[in-house]
Structure 1
Amino acid sequence: MSLFNDYLALLVESGPAILEGLLITVKLLVGSCLVGFALSVPLAIARLSTHAGIRWCADVYSAVFRGTPLLVQIFIFYYGLSQFEAVRASPAWLVLNDSFYCGLVVLSLNLTAYMAEDIRAGIMAVPNGEKEAALAYGLNKWQLYRYILIPRALTIATPALGNEIIAQLKSTALVSTITVLDLTGVVRRLSATSYTTDALILAGVIYALITLSISWVIRWIERRNAHHFSR
């Protein structure tokens, strides 16, 4: 009972700060997922392009962001780029100079590379018979991607994309290293001042509940897609 009272007291005393940190975490997650998804579709198509130059650029982008730690990318964008006068004099500095938006940009670019790989695999998994039938019906390449390949690829890649979103939730905690007071940043500060781990444990419970909610939504989407295609 005393443990329950301790957590209740923590919520009463620090609830507003924790809620504010949670809202920032949700903004980072939703914003990076929306931007990442929007960029991942053209990147996936570029990685399958027959044009060698386009495919090479897409492969390099994917290799850089998937092959280096996210924390290193955050530090390079926030601390490293500020060393260049050209960057500080450019419009990009308006974004990079703000820790929240800088973190959002890096999270989005990183997630783009991972989602693009999942979508690319989904496109490649579409049966050749469906592609040939679409072309025989008279669809051009753009229509083939729009009406056949992308919808089918997203259906196939739904579980993998769901895993990327869950992983992204945990990745948002890294922006606390550049002074963003997200959920992790807030509870780290509370733990440092109270000399207890109660706030960290509470944050772990919150992250777990959000993860369970995302998993439920993904499973619902999978069942809906399965029912749609079975009809």
Structure 2
Amino acid sequence: MDFSFLYGTLLTLLTGVPLTLQLAVSSVALGTVLAIVLALARLSGLPLLAWPTRFYVFVFRSTPLLVQIFLIYHGLGQFPAIRTSFLWPILREPYWCALIALTLNTAAYSSEVIRGALLSVPSGQIEAARACGMRTTVLYRRIVFPLTLRQALPAYGNEFILMVKATSLASIITLMEVTGLAAKLISQSFRAIEILVVAGAIYLLINFLVTRLLQWADYGLTGHLRLPPVSVDAQQRGAR
């Protein structure tokens, strides 16, 4: 095994990590905002809002992300109205097309996570808050959203990990993130196994750190669910 080649490959692929993280973090952040809007529209009970939201979620969850990237990057440029509009400076850039596709895709999945978390909030707590005269904005800020965050965090963590891996598809439209740099090195050296092993190790390390951060956040949010340690004296008194 050529360790010098592996080391050089690692240094080269690490230069693509900032772009990978930028795509993942930006898409999840923007997708979260859109997902909240979609979830609230789905739960509004208004058919004019609920049915378009259902259709949006169905389309983006039922089609491959790669097809969505191609449609945005290659498809929209075929319309003269798009090429002459103010959107063209954005839609002709691979980075923005990849970010838009990732954002729309994760928003569809995340909206269902948020919707389920909102439905899991105990109705008794909401009724008690309203009986105390709490305003709707305060109710959502102090009760609904904290409980929703606690319920949605594990599933949302999985979505973030999936988005980190999904950024590899951005290499298809010439973005030089980790996978894009790996493909370039393979075309130059024809040493696919070593390069792909290093690329996989980088994704593995990123997701390992993300998993640890999510576990730390989940531990902080669920402290009230853990019973305090019982002292030896208390155990002895209970035994008596």
Question: Do residues 102 (structure 1) and 97 (structure 2) align?
Answer: yes
- Quote how far apart the aligned CAs of 1:228 are: 5.1
Partner of 1:5: 4
Partner of 1:225: 221
In structure 2, relative to structure 1, the CA distance for the partners of 1:141 and 1:155 (3 Å cut) is same
Counterpart pick for 2:200 among 196, 201, 204: 204
Distance 2:135 2:45 in 1: 15
Partner of 2:172: 177
Partner of 2:21: 26
Q: Which runs of 5+ in 2 are unaligned?
A: 228-240
CA contact (8 A) 2:9 2:198 kept: no
Q: Deviations over 1:3-51 (max 9, x none)?
A: 433312434xxx2x42332211111011111111122112111111121
Select the structure of larger CA radius of gyration.
Answer: 2
Distance 2:26 2:62 in 1: 23
Q: Secondary structure at 2:15's aligned position in 1? A: helix
Q: Deviations over 1:105-128 (max 9, x none)?
A: 110111111111101100111111
Question: Do residues 190 (structure 1) and 185 (structure 2) align?
Answer: yes
- Quote how far apart the aligned CAs of 1:52 are: 1.5
Q: Secondary structure at 1:126's aligned position in 2? A: coil
Distance 1:65 1:214 in 2: 25
Within-5 A mapping of 1:81-230: 81-197=76-192, 198-227=194-223
Q: Percent identity?
A: 39
Distance 1:77 1:209 in 2: 30
In structure 2, relative to structure 1, the CA distance for the partners of 1:57 and 1:140 (3 Å cut) is farther
Amino acid at match of 1:87: I
- Quote how far apart the aligned CAs of 1:230 are: 6.1
Distance 2:109 2:63 in 1: 12
Distance 2:53 2:134 in 1: 26
Amino acid at match of 1:196: R
CA contact (8 A) 2:30 2:103 kept: yes
Partner of 2:34: 39
Distance 1:43 1:146 in 2: 18
Distance 1:93 1:107 in 2: 19
CA contact (8 A) 2:73 2:97 kept: yes
Distance 2:32 2:45 in 1: 22
Distance 1:140 1:189 in 2: 57
Distance 2:29 2:126 in 1: 28
Distance 1:230 1:140 in 2: 31
Distance 1:177 1:126 in 2: 41
Q: Deviations over 1:177-202 (max 9, x none)?
A: 11111110000110121111222110
Q: Deviations over 1:62-100 (max 9, x none)?
A: 111112111111000000111001111112212110001
In structure 2, relative to structure 1, the CA distance for the partners of 1:9 and 1:55 (3 Å cut) is closer
Matched length: 226
Distance 1:89 1:230 in 2: 59
Give the RMSD, CA atoms, in angstroms: 1.7
- Quote how far apart the aligned CAs of 1:229 are: 6.3
